[in-house]
Structure 1
Amino acid sequence: MVTIGASHIEDRPMLTSRITIALLFGAVFSHAVASAGELTLFSRDGFDGREMTLRSATPNLVESGFNDRASSMIVRSGRWELCEDVGFEGRCAVYGQGEYPTLERFNDRISSAREIVPERAHGGARPHGGKRGMIALFSARALDGDARRLRRDADDFSEIDFNDSAASAQVIEGSWQLCSDAGFRGTCRIFAPGRYEDLGRGLRGRVSSARLVDEDGGGRREGDVELFSSSGFSGQRLVLREDTRDLTDFGFNDRADALIVHRGQWEFCQHADFGGRCMTYGPGRYERLGPMGNMISSLRRLR
């Protein structure tokens, strides 16, 4: 018969507690690792050559011997921002989960990389009454040239030394309204998340202000008319306040299949310069345009 001392009996609850804490910590740690982003860079096209896997922000790839060497990549989880210069500066772009056998304009030009984590994951405050967003603006088409990244409203681009400079954009998070004049005036257009390699003649080289808007533009809308590329107010959206002689300038010619008139009486025409068949729409929501669907090239206010 084996006798167990009292001291050993007293140690058992403490031991059990320590084991439980260790298991819980291990589970939490494993979950954190599993949910972290992961990116693998390859030195050649087609996922070939030397490779390097990143799981945390890397502000300087020089230290790892992989600066300006990446030619393809696999984003296994998370959304990653890749930049040409160290410290996440210079031209940047965001890539979601997927395989990228070639990096095109970023080939052999990446110097820093970091995962884009939504602000709510950190429990931090979010701007604009709960809305959060990020947009990257570029001075040349195809997301090239000098760049500026915004996380909050900018009512005058002169203050960020980028007035009348933006030619393309990448909306990383949230919906953004870009306007040709300071103070969110002039020609305005709303951009949902996505890559816009050309802002069109209506905004290219003319953007002077930008701000986050609600998904439906509510509460912050400056436009009198909204055009949608798909029926039911879906697809790409164009917001206008002024007569427009040719929607080609906005990359929206013959694309509108739904519209909202917020104020005034507006004439919509099949051809540029208000030519061809025209129809008048007053305030209201028109989820389908029938015979005018995908045929509008110009519009103007009648009263």
Structure 2
Amino acid sequence: MMEEPSLRQVWCLPLRKPPSLEPLGTNYLLCALMGHRDSVKVPGQLPLLLQVKTVPTGKLCLLQGSWSGPEVPSVLSQVIFFSESGCQGSGREVWGDIADASGWAPVASIRVVRGCWVLYEEPEFLGRKLVLPEGDMELRAPGTKWSPQGIGSLRRVIWDYSAPEISLFSEEGLKGEQVKLTEALNNSHGLEKPLQVASATVSAGLWLLYPKPFFEDTPYILEPGEYPTSEAWGTSDPSVGSLKPMTLGCPSVEKPGEPRAVVYEAPGFQGCSWEVSRDIYNLQQPEDSQSPHLASVGSLRVLGGCWVGYEKEGFRGHQYLLEEGEYPDWSHWGGYDELLTSLRVIRTDFGDPAIVLFEAMDFEGHSVEVSKALPDVELVQHGPSTQAIHVLSGVWVAYQEVGFSGEQYVLEKGVYRNCEDWGAGNSALASLQPVLQVRASRGDLEVRVSGTVGLCLGLGLSWPHRPPSPGSQHFSEPSIFLYGLECFEGKEIELSREVRSLQAEGFNNHVLSVRIKGGVWVLCEHSDFRGRQWLVGSCEITNWLTYSGTQRVGSLYPIKQRRVYFRLWNAALGGFLAVPDHVEDMKAGRVVVSDPRAGGSCIWYYEDGLLKNQMAPTMSLQVIGPPSPGSKVVLWAESRLPRQTWSISESGHICSQMFEGQILDVKGGRGYDRDHVVLWEPDKNRASQIWTIHVL
């Protein structure tokens, strides 16, 4: 039950971020916007002081909020109080309600990092109050009439992403015609009937009621509860011109480069604890003997960075985004139960978020690109089914239900070919929002060092198994795939070139399996080719942690090979791959298998995926006609598009990279063209598909 003071003053401070929530009012200047080049003051976007008359009749019955459970994950709230203007000086961080703050030192400025709060003049949430949306604000700006006595109490008023809801009634006592709203109404005059509100019920959220359309003039603030008369929110005029709810902004991270978390065995930050700053594959069975063995995870504090908690070991099961803040028990991270077995740090660039959703697997079907929070994918004409995702940049949280509710999935830069890759059991995906980086609460100094780092290939290279021979040749274009889970599951990163820092490229360097399809690669533990290094040829590594002893790849590059000349011998037919004609002035040239004494050129070399003959350096091996068994292969100008590249496997197959599943063969038979090379499907009964490389 809320007290009814004889005079109640309600102040609203201006909002700076996110831009979707406008600053309030036009009447009295309460505080100045923090200096910002992009700040623009327009009508309806000035801070205000609001006088609310004495409530003559009726009592305001507050609806008690409750934890929403896993269906609507609760969100941490954080507000920082500073002793000096401009959010400077000593600071006090607050994560929850404060019933008595009367003993605090004077506060000059406030930064709301997460959530929407209400500041009260007196303890126990009484007296005049101040609404604090996300952003920065001043308490000592000219014209401010906040009590010099300081802050009496503080309470957060929005807990999660639950859909706001208000019911408006045409008669007092919650009777008469009812209008229910879950989103902003910018102009009630556009309705068929004028909106007359004599009483109201706020089921969820904090609502602002404006006498004029388009959120102009002084708003009245309605917290969750029942308002039997309009006097209960401070007016005798039943007219409402517009109204809107206060809502939460996107998830955020303040110190992404300083990952640090403390895990406690019992709720309430009790019991054995473990401070971590890296990925933990299994909290109950750490990789080293020095780390504590926690029987369970009862609570945790995220002191820096953005983390993902997983129900099961190995980063599997239900996923929970863990922002910076305190989690006294499993309900505060939106858990389905007490289980939290593995932790992973998100190491990537949070800037310029962009994501593409596909309705079919392997990036087929209808697609849509999104760059901001989307409470319902149908708003952009995307269906309820999403079976592939390409995260172009940033970090995203996707939800199974609309309104950022239901099962959540954390997505980072890379590709997800099917719903199993992001941990879902089905293709239902109804809403999503990016994780944004916010500026540091204090004047943190960030130093970036760049420069050239020398590398000695022979120093620090290691391999648990047989390494590639340094003198061996590999006839394939560099191609490597990094996966976020074991056995080539989870997020996929495809690379074909040197990367000095995966993080600098916007990727997370957390890797649990590796597939190398082409070339020989050096994988380095840290960025700029530092730390331990592994020389790896074409292979599949199902568990990178077991293979290397680490869960990360900081940088990597393919080994560049010098050009070598070779002959391709077909033992089944007793001849070399050759070009029998002079093709300098011809558009195309025949390619056959012939006896070494028959003449022609049988010397080849491999260049950027192209197979070339020494006699025709401007031409390359290409398929003519549709790619079906028996299609002829000739020499053609290398400028022809698309490029037709090849690789030579250890089994002796010359494989087309453009036409998957097709390899080089010889036509055979009794016809005049029986010695011509053609495209064919792999067949173990056709020995003519096997070639031997004779390096010259």
Band of TM-score, shorter chain:
0.3 to 0.5
* TM-score under structure 1 length normalisation: 0.37
Which structure has the larger Rg over C-alpha atoms?
Answer: 2
Higher-helix-fraction structure: 1
Query: Looking at both structures, which has the greater relative contact order when contacts are Cα pairs under 8 Å and sequence separation is at least 6?
Result: 1
TM-score w.r.t. length of structure 2: 0.18
